[in-house]
C-alpha cells in the first residue's frame, strides 16, 4: 500500500483557515489530522464533545480555555484536551497567527463534528507539555497513555540529521499499526515497500499498517517530525 502525502499549500482553500489533511477518505485506522491557523484576536471553535483533541502548536501563542480556566500555550506545546470539556483557544499572544495541527479520533469526523457553543464540562484539566521538556536520552514521547490519552500517543521525533537513515541494517521496519506524521521542518525521503517518496515541510503523511518503511535525509538540513501512533504501539518500540 502506498502512503498518503499531502501538503498544506495544496489543501488550504483561498480565504480558509483550515486544511483537512488526513480524512476519512484516506482510510486512517485511528485518527484524522487537521491543520489550522488562528489570527490575532480570533479563536478556535468553542465547543464540547465526547471525544478528545490532541493539538501541537507550530507557531504563535495564546490561551487555551478549558471549562473557564485559562492555560497559556506557545510554540512547541503539545496539548491533550480530554473528552467532555468545554474548550477553545484564543489568540491573544501578540505574535501573529497561531499555526497548529489537531488530531481527532475517527468518531469526530463520522459524527460530523461538534456544532455547539460549549456547555458544562467535567472540569478535567488539559495536559500541556512543551517539546523543550523532553529528555532526548530517555525518549521522544510528548503525550502517552500515562497522561490519560485514550486513542493515540504523540511523539516529537529526534531531528533527523543530514545523511541519516532509519533502520539502516534492515532496510526499514514494519508493524501492525499506522503512523500519522506532520513534517515541521526540512525534507527527506520516505521509502515504503521499496518505493521512494519525497516529503517536505508542512506535509501530512499516513503510513498504513504492515508496510515496510524507512526514512532517509539526503538533504543538507535537519528534518523534524511529529508522529501520532495508536495507543497499542506503546507496548513496542516506536
Residues 83 and 16 in one domain: yes
Residues 118 and 173 in one domain: no
In whole angstroms, what separates CA 212 from the centre of its chain?
22
Residue 238 lies in a domain: no
Residues 12 and 116 in one domain: yes
Residues 117 and 24 in one domain: yes
User: What does the pLDDT read at residue 114?
Assistant: 86
Residue 23 lies in a domain: yes
Residues 200 and 119 in one domain: no
Residues 160 and 190 in one domain: yes
Does residue 139 sit in helix, strand or coil?
A: coil
Residues 183 and 119 in one domain: no
Q: How many CB atoms are closer than 10 A to CB 137?
A: 5
Residues 129 and 157 in one domain: no
- Integer Cα distance of 212 and 60 in angstroms: 36
Phi-psi region of 21 (alpha: psi -120 to 50; beta: other; left: phi over 0): alpha
| pLDDT tens, residue order, the chain (238 aa) | 899 999 999 999 888 999 999 999 999 999 999 999 999 999 999 999 999 999 999 999 999 999 999 999 999 999 999 999 999 999 998 879 999 999 999 999 999 888 888 899 999 999 999 999 998 888 899 999 999 999 999 999 999 999 999 999 888 999 999 999 999 999 999 999 999 999 999 999 999 999 999 999 999 999 999 999 999 999 875 4
Residue 53 lies in a domain: yes
Residues 181 and 221 in one domain: yes
Residue 3 lies in a domain: no
Residue 142 lies in a domain: no
Give the end of a domain, one of 83, 101, 136: 136
Give the end of a domain, one of 81, 104, 136: 136
What CATH number did the domain enclosing 175 receive?
Answer: 2.60.120.10
User: What does the pLDDT read at residue 238?
Assistant: 44
Residue 108 lies in a domain: yes
- Integer Cα distance of 83 and 27 in angstroms: 23
Give the end of a domain, one of 136, 161, 180: 136
- Integer Cα distance of 109 and 192 in angstroms: 27
Residue 143 lies in a domain: no
- Integer Cα distance of 101 and 204 in angstroms: 10
- Integer Cα distance of 109 and 230 in angstroms: 17
Residues 30 and 132 in one domain: yes
User: What does the pLDDT read at residue 116?
Assistant: 87
The number of domains in the chain is 2
Residues 88 and 202 in one domain: no
Range of the domain at 159: 152-232
Residues 187 and 132 in one domain: no
- State pTM to two decimals: 0.95
CA angle 196, 200, 204 (to 5 degrees): 90
Residue 36 lies in a domain: yes
For residue 2, give the DSSP letter: P
Amino acid at each position: 500500500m502506498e502512503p498518503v502525502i499531502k501538503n498544506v499549500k495544496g489543501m488550504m482553500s483561498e480565504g480558509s483557515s483550515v486544511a483537512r489533511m488526513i480524512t476519512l477518505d484516506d482510510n486512517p485506522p485511528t485518527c484524522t489530522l487537521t491543520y489550522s491557523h488562528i489570527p490575532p484576536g480570533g479563536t478556535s471553535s468553542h465547543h464540547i464533545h465526547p471525544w478528545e483533541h490532541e493539538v501541537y502548536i507550530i507557531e504563535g501563542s495564546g490561551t487555551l480555555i478549558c471549562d473557564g480556566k485559562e492555560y497559556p500555550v506557545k510554540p512547541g506545546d503539545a496539548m491533550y484536551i480530554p473528552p467532555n470539556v468545554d474548550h477553545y483557544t484564543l489568540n491573544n499572544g501578540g505574535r501573529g497567527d497561531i499555526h497548529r495541527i489537531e488530531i481527532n479520533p475517527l468518531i469526530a469526523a463520522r459524527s460530523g463534528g461538534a456544532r455547539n457553543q460549549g456547555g458544562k464540562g467535567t472540569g478535567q484539566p488539559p495536559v500541556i507539555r512543551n517539546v523543550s521538556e523532553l529528555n532526548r536520552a530517555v525518549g521522544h514521547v510528548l503525550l502517552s497513555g500515562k497522561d490519560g490519552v485514550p486513542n493515540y500517543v504523540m511523539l516529537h521525533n529526534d531531528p533527523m540529521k543530514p545523511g541519516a537513515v532509519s533502520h539502516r541494517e534492515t532496510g526499514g521496519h514494519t508493524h501492525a499499526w499506522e503512523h500519522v506524521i506532520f513534517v515541521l521542518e526540512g525534507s527527506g525521503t520516505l521509502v515504503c515497500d521499496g518505493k521512494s517518496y519525497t516529503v517536505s515541510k508542512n506535509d501530512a503523511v499516513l503510513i498504513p499498517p504492515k508496510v515496510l518503511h524507512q526514512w532517509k535525509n539526503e538533504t543538507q538540513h535537519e528534518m523534524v517530525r511529529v508522529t501520532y501512533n495508536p495507543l497499542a504501539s506503546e507496548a513496542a518500540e516506536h
